[in-house]
Amino acid sequence: MCCSVSPSTQVRFSSTILYTAEVLPPKHEQPVHVLGYENTVQGTPTDRGLGNAMLLPIPAVPGTMSQLNCIPTKWCPRILQDYSLALIPPLPASAYMLLSSATPPKPERVQMFESGIYTVVLAENAEAIPAALSRVPERKRPTMNPALFEAYSAWYPNWTFALCCFNVFHAAHATPMLWWYEPMNPNVLFAPGVDCHTGDVPDLTAEVVVDHTIIAGSYLLKGGKRVRFRDWFGSGASPYLCPRVIGGRTQRAPDGYVCTLPNGDFTIPVEDTRAGRFKYERVKPPAA
């Protein structure tokens, strides 16, 4: 589950791991939220030399994010896999998961930087992203569908957007994306889940196949599963990684059953997470 942006390059994202948490790193007076994202990208042989990108909305306080909010994971590439392993055997999803079912773009600040295999375009308005794509290396540069960015700008007003551009050939060597941010709503953890792999505007009325692990944490968490990190120590990412987490897994069953959910994102109450109760709600974008 992910939103790709190139209409000329269809890919399949699978085995997605989402990590969302509240943490209190050193030198921070108030808790901040963390978003971790990892998946497996599968293209076709003809796509191997093409660029594509994932579009991630982030509910940060407007104007507060920069390259400094992107946490390098070069030296800890297995952190999200370690979180997933900590949840084996999977928690009983049925017991814990709750389901719910044109004006010109304003000039916006756009930042661009490298993180692992990705060239990241960080913008305060999704409609500001296409104008910056000429600065993305050609081998990673996706083909744009302007309607997609218009939709995201309308659906997520005042949010921050990270366009993570990659070359399909190098996708197998991706390290996790890890961000910290000051949340607009400190009472709710967020994980992006709107799904479309064709570069088109996502259909928010659709049922979509899901194959992912959702991990939630808090520095105040009571209980949960203890995580054994293989790459944690000595990493600058450690202040943003909770040592205990809760979560659930939704994926294809051994008998071939495919799990589907209504298209949307995930919100998780901080209060429940602190108490060790894993509950999420599948929600539409806030202004959809």
12-283: which CATH topology? Baculovirus p35 (2.60.250)
**What does the pLDDT look like over 112-157, one tens digit per residue?**
999 988 999 999 999 999 999 999 999 999 888 899 999 999 999 9
**What does the pLDDT look like over 62-114, one tens digit per residue?**
999 999 999 999 889 999 999 999 986 544 444 333 333 344 444 458 999 99
Amino acid in the structure at residue 220: L
**What does the pLDDT look like over 199-222, one tens digit per residue?**
889 999 999 888 879 999 999 998
* Six token digits for residue 204: 């928010």
pLDDT of residue 105: 42
- Average pLDDT, rounded, for the chain: 85
> Would you list the DSSP string of 102-163?
--PPPP--EEEEEETTEEEEEESSGGGSGGGGGGS-GGGPPPP-HHHHHHHHHHSTT-EEEE
E strand spans, the chain: 12-23, 32-42, 51-58, 110-115, 118-123, 160-167, 177-181, 188-191, 207-209, 212-218, 225-226, 244-250, 260-262, 265-269, 281-283
pTM of the predicted model as reported, rounded to 2 decimal places: 0.87
**What does the pLDDT look like over 3-24, one tens digit per residue?**
666 665 555 555 789 999 999 9
Q: Mean pLDDT over residues 242-259, rounded?
A: 74
Q: Compute the half-sphere exposure of residue 41: CA atoms within 13 Å on the CB side of its CA.
A: 32
Stronger pLDDT, 173 or 201, i.e. the higher one? 201
Stronger pLDDT, 4 or 259, i.e. the higher one? 259
Whether the per-residue pLDDT at 247 is higher than 90: the answer is yes
Q: Mean pLDDT over residues 48-71, rounded?
A: 90
- Percent of the chain exceeding pLDDT 70 equals 81
Question: Virtual CA dihedral for 161, 137, 201, 110, nearest 10 degrees?
Answer: 30
